[in-house]
A and B are shown apart, each in its own frame.
Chain A
Amino acid sequence: GEDVEQSLFLSVREGDSSVINCTYTDSSSTYLYWYKQEPGAGLQLLTYIFSNMDMKQDQRLTVLLNKKDKHLSLRIADTQTGDSAIYFCAERNQKVTFGIGTKLQVIP
């Protein structure tokens, strides 16, 4: 079945770049997503990439997709304390399968 894996924790200093990595197994995925979840809040879609693209940039966010290796990454430039949250990678074929989430801690 589908599986999405990501590291559990990342700590960066304010102003540095953050890179959160994810691997997935479903080669039929059509879309890959990054969601942000702040404590006690719902899931917020940050960005997504179609499976035939290899890069997407949206302001401070850059998504890189290596379809051959089934590897997805999210780079956050100039990380701010407000970026502290849990970041979920997800892939979609028909249904959406989420990873366990990476907790990003931004140190002032």
Chain B
Amino acid sequence: GAGVSQTPSNKVTEKGKYVELRCDPISGHTALYWYRQSLGQGPEFLIYFQGTGAADDSGLPNDRFFAVRPEGSVSTLKIQRTERGDSAVYLCASSSTGVSEQYFGPGTRLTVT
């Protein structure tokens, strides 16, 4: 079975542009998480979906960040008016309800120039 996949693997964009990052969770996993990992840091929680709804979006840094999961499977993280400080690796993870393990994707490395 396929693991969590994320596309693109790398994204370079100019300051002020809009970007979308995609996550395909493991089939059947109802929970989906987005994290951001800056250089030399641990992953920082952004948002958690249970099914289609955002159960906890307290980690989103500001209103330029938004995420959706319209059919309870694939999720898209959207960043408007990107800033250089948004440069990081964006990680997605999924898990089954009631199961403790989160399975991480390889991440999308975002570079804002």
Query: Considering the chains assembled together, what is the distance between the CA atoms of A50 and B56 in angstroms?
Result: 22
Size range of the chain A interface in the assembly: 20 to 34
The answer to whether B105 and A31 touch across the interface, beta carbons within 8 angstroms, is no
Of the candidates A45, A95, A99, the one whose C-beta lies within 8 Å of that of B101 is A45
Minimum Cβ distance to chain B for residue A65 (Å) = 14
**B91 and A43 within 8 A (CB):** yes
* Tally of chain B residues near chain A (CB < 8 A): 23
State whether B42 touches A42 (Cβ < 8 A).
no
Within 8 A of B (CB), among A44-84: 44-45, 48, 50
Nearest CB in chain A to that of B104: its residue: A43
- Cβ of B103 under 8 Å from chain A: yes
Partner-A contacts on B (CB < 8 A): 33, 35, 40-45, 48, 55-56, 58-59, 91, 93, 100-107
Q: Which 6 A-B pairs have the closest CB atoms?
A: A98-B42, A43-B104, A42-B106, A95-B45, A31-B100, A98-B43
